């Protein structure tokens, strides 16, 4: 077999299946559910693009995706951020298509979107020359992909195998990821394309919750584990290389990510409810939780960004933020177009007061919410 592996992941597959049912059964408020998805999308996009040398933060990415990009982010990097988001949106749309097949056109179409259609970067076409993978720290070549003449046939072969085998979605996701990285079929965007296709494998297998499809955020926090997992490929492309270590690392990462995000979903869901209660007490609109959630995590908010979150008019957004500023929940910084809103002097005090028995400190509040969430989960068992 092309890039063989030992399919020894029955226990991990069972746990992933259990998590899928558990997370689907857990009802989120509509407002919080949408906000969580937006946050996870931004974190995944920021992590994956940053791994490829695009210097953006989660806060930058949130604003770029909301159509309010920071001036410090140049147009090229903005295009790569939106391109990656568009590629993820594309595979989400295609996941339900019963006629969708793993084939070369699908792979090329994803890469084209990942690179924002940039012809100069080779978007939408297989590479037409030699390629190599270098260590960013040393500049040394660490992997030599196959010769260019072999690339079209290898892409077709990896797609045929992904289509033919009845693998668990997490295993198919992992194998596609390492196989595309090994073939390295593009001049640019190989890593991002591999990660998007890995997400598509999960979507098509019914794993739609963002906890299963934002693995980039986990890899971004553990880059050494990610890059070390590719060592099984050796230094030169060999179709007989045993990729079990990579598949193992990928499936393990899926489990660790879902466990982490399942807890986070409940903790930050509680935080959202507390923030909404603060707004009720102050007779302010509940939609302001969208701004205060970012402020709690010390991310600044602009009128344009907030307007995109609430899908209302600019005057409404401006009035909401002015009211929050007057209440001390946010603090205005700058004038007119460049104005941004930072965390206000009363926000942490009011959130802590709503909880009771916790210091007005963001970290302390999250620790307390985590403790209460764990206690609640234990009592449910």
Mean pLDDT, the chain cut into blocks of 10 residues (381 residues total): 94 94 64 79 89 87 90 90 91 85 95 92 94 80 94 97 95 97 96 94 89 85 91 96 98 94 88 96 96 95 94 95 97 85 97 95 96 78 57
Let me know if domain 10-261 sits in CATH 1.10.3290.10.
yes
Q: Which tokens sit at 101?
A: 């097949």
For the full predicted model, state whether its pTM sits above 0.85. yes
pLDDT value of position 159: 96
pLDDT value of position 261: 86
pLDDT value of position 163: 92
Q: Say if CB 193 and CB 111 are below 8 A apart.
A: yes
pLDDT value of position 97: 84
pLDDT value of position 71: 87
pLDDT value of position 25: 55
Q: Which tokens sit at 246?
A: 């990579």
DSSP string, 46-115: HHHHHHTT----HHHHHHHHTT---TTS-HHHHHHHHHHHHHHHHHHHHTT-TT----HHHHHHHHHHHT
Q: Say if CB 129 and CB 187 are below 8 A apart.
A: yes
CATH of 263-380, one of 3.40.1190.20, 1.10.10.10, 1.10.3720.10, 1.10.357.10: 1.10.10.10
CA atoms within 13 A on the CB side of 344: 22
pLDDT value of position 54: 83
Residues of the chain with CATH 1.10.3290.10: 10-261
pLDDT value of position 28: 53
Residues of the chain with CATH 1.10.10.10: 263-380
* CA nearest to 247, candidates 159, 174, 173: 174
| Rounded to 5°, angle at Cα 241 from 238 and 245 | 140
């Amino acid at each position: 077999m092309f890039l063989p592996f030992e399919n020894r992941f029955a226990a991990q597959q069972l746990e992933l299946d259990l998590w899928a049912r558990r997370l689907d059964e857990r009802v989120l408020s509509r407002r919080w559910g949408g906000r969580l998805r937006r946050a996870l999308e931004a974190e995944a996009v920021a992590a994956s693009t940053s791994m490829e040398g695009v210097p953006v933060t989660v806060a930058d990415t949130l604003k770029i995706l909301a159509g309010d990009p920071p001036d410090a982010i140049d147009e090229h990097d903005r295009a790569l951020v939106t391109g990656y988001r568009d590629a993820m949106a594309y595979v989400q749309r295609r996941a339900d298509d019963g006629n969708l097949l793993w084939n070369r056109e699908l792979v090329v179409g994803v890469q084209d979107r990942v690179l924002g259609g940039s012809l100069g970067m080779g978007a939408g076409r297989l590479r037409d020359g030699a390629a190599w993978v270098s260590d960013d720290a040393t500049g040394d070549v660490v992997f030599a992909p196959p010769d260019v003449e072999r690339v079209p046939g290898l892409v077709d072969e990896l797609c045929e195998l992904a289509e033919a085998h009845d693998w668990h979605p997490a295993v198919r996701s992992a194998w596609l990821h390492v196989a595309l990285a090994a073939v390295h079929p593009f001049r640019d965007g190989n890593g991002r394309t591999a990660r998007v296709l890995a997400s598509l494998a999960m979507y098509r297998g019914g794993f739609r919750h963002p906890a299963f499809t934002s693995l980039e955020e986990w890899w971004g926090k553990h880059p050494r584990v990610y890059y070390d997992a590719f060592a099984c490929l050796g230094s030169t492309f060999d179709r007989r290389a045993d990729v079990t270590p990579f598949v193992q690392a990928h499936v393990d990462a899926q489990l660790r990510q879902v466990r982490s995000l399942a807890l986070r979903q409940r903790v930050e869901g509680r935080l959202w409810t507390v923030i909404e209660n603060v707004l009720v007490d102050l007779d302010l609109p509940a939609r302001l939780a969208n701004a205060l959630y970012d402020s709690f995590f010390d991310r600044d908010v602009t009128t344009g960004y907030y307007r995109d979150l609430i899908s209302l008019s600019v005057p409404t957004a401006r009035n909401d933020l002015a009211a929050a500023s007057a209440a001390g929940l946010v603090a205005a910084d700058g004038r007119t177009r460049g104005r941004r809103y930072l965390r206000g002097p009363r926000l942490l005090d009011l959130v802590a007061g709503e909880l009771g028995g916790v210091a007005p400190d963001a970290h302390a509040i999250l620790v307390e919410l985590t403790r209460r969430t764990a206690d609640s989960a234990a009592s449910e068992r």
